[in-house]
């Protein structure tokens, strides 16, 4: 047990988070495991997030192993500095599949992204925990605030849902799509999309992607045999990965180009 740590159980929207403050540096850390459990991530997702925190070039500088009471005795657990919490949470992507199948998890993730850092900071820096209503009036006001917050989250979710419908066929990372199919999904003409990607130096003049975009996993180029009379020759065909579809969509949005709603 580290006597240089002040450890607290912090209530966040009904979830119990384990956090600790280093008495020397006054830095606050939160246990990665408890955040993942609060978000109701699967065991596999939890392991992926732990790996991300340990290996990400930014996050690993803000992470630290601390000996905390896990409920099964004191064990060394991975924690992240409070300043790094929003950065880590922002890297947990809200995928179209999550929107359709795990909307409750999406709602919780948004809540964590917006408020968790403040609540944890208050627990240590200002010694404030979430307020429990003591009067009928306070309870009513808290209920109204909760309803308004849920309505806001629902409105945000409805804005994102159409995108989930559009990208449904691209959720499986093993899918490779022809550029024509990608253009239809994004509501953009194939030739215009080729032209746009050439202008952005993503594609070369022959509509083959530059090697760095292939290396990043956005595209794959396959040789397709073409027969002309008695001659057979290979023609390079560009395919877009699921990761590439998301990249192209973001690129179109960045340049205010029209995409499917």
Q: How far is CA 152 from the centre of its chain?
A: 20
Running DSSP on this structure, what letter comes out for residue 130? Answer: P
Q: Of the candidates 130, 147, 178, which is a domain's last residue?
A: 130
Domain of 99, in residue numbers: 5-130
Contact 170, 245 (CB under 8 A): yes
In a domain, 95, yes or no: yes
Q: Are residues 106 and 37 in the same domain?
A: yes
DSSP label at residue 29: E
**Do both 111 and 191 map to the same domain?**
no
* Strand arrangement, sheet containing 28-31: 5-12, 15-22, 28-31, 74-81, 63-69
Which pLDDT does position 222 carry in this prediction? 86
Residues 44 and 111 in one domain: yes
Domain boundary among 130, 154, 178: 130
Contact 99, 157 (CB under 8 A): yes
Query: At residue 259, does pLDDT exceed 80?
Result: no
Q: Quick: pLDDT tens for 161-217.
A: 555 544 444 444 446 888 888 888 888 888 999 999 999 999 998 889 999 999 888
Q: How far apart are CA 18 and CA 55, in angstroms?
A: 22
Q: Are residues 28 and 116 in the same domain?
A: yes
pLDDT band at 127 (very low <50, low <70, confident <90, very high): low
Same domain, 122 and 188: no
Residues 15 and 114 in one domain: yes
Same domain membership, residue 185 and residue 126: no
Same domain, 176 and 120: no
Asked whether residue 97 is domain-assigned, the answer is yes
pTM above 0.85, yes or no: no
The C-alpha angle with vertex 239 and arms to 233 and 240, in degrees rounded to 5, equals 170
pLDDT average, residue stretch 48-57? 93
Residues 10 and 126 in one domain: yes
Q: Is residue 111 part of a domain?
A: yes
Counting the structural domains of the chain, the total is 2
114-132 average pLDDT score: 72
Residue 148: inside a domain, yes or no? no
Whether 139 is covered by a domain: the verdict is no
Please report whether residue 215 resides in a domain. Answer: yes
What number is the average pLDDT over the span 110-139?
71
Cα gap 5→2, rounded to integer Å = 6
Query: Rounded mean pLDDT of the chain?
Result: 80
Name 77's bridge partners.
Answer: 66
Structure tokens at 77: 């657990």
Do both 213 and 124 map to the same domain? no
In the chain, the DSSP E strands lie at 5-12, 15-22, 28-31, 63-69, 74-81, 177-178, 219-228, 231-240
Residues 85 and 175 in one domain: no
Judge if 178 and 88 occupy the same domain: no
**Structural domain contains residue 142:** no
In a domain, 155, yes or no: no
Q: Determine the pLDDT at residue 36.
A: 92
pLDDT in tens, 67-81: 887 777 788 999 999
Q: Which residue has the tokens 């953009």?
A: 188
Give residue 61's pLDDT: 93
pLDDT of residue 157: 61
Of 130, 158, 187, the residue that ends a domain is 130
């Amino acid at each position: 047990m580290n006597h240089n740590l002040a450890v607290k159980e912090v209530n966040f929207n009904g979830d119990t988070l384990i956090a600790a403050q280093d008495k020397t540096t006054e830095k606050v850390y939160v246990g990665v495991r408890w955040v993942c459990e609060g978000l109701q991530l699967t065991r596999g997702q939890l392991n992926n997030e732990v790996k991300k925190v340990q290996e990400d070039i930014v996050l690993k500088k803000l992470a630290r192993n601390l000996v905390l009471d896990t409920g099964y005795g004191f064990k060394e657990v991975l924690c992240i500095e409070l300043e790094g919490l929003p950065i880590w949470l922002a890297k947990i992507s809200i995928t179209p599949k999550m929107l359709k199948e795990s909307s409750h998890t999406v709602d919780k993730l948004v809540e964590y992204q917006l408020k968790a850092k403040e609540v944890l900071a208050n627990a240590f820096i200002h010694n404030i925990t979430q307020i429990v209503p003591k009067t009928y009036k306070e309870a009513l006001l808290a209920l109204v605030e909760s309803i308004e917050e849920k309505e806001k989250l629902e409105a945000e979710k409805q804005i994102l849902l159409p995108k989930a419908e559009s990208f449904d066929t691209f959720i499986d990372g093993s899918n490779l799509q022809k550029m024509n199919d990608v253009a239809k999904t994004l509501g953009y003409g194939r030739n215009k999309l080729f032209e746009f990607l050439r202008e952005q130096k993503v594609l070369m003049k022959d509509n083959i992607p530059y090697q760095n975009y292939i290396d990043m996993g956005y595209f794959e180029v396959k040789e397709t045999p073409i027969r002309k009379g008695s001659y057979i020759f290979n023609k390079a065909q560009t395919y877009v990965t699921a990761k590439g579809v998301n990249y192209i969509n973001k690129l179109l949005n960045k340049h205010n180009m029209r995409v499917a709603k």
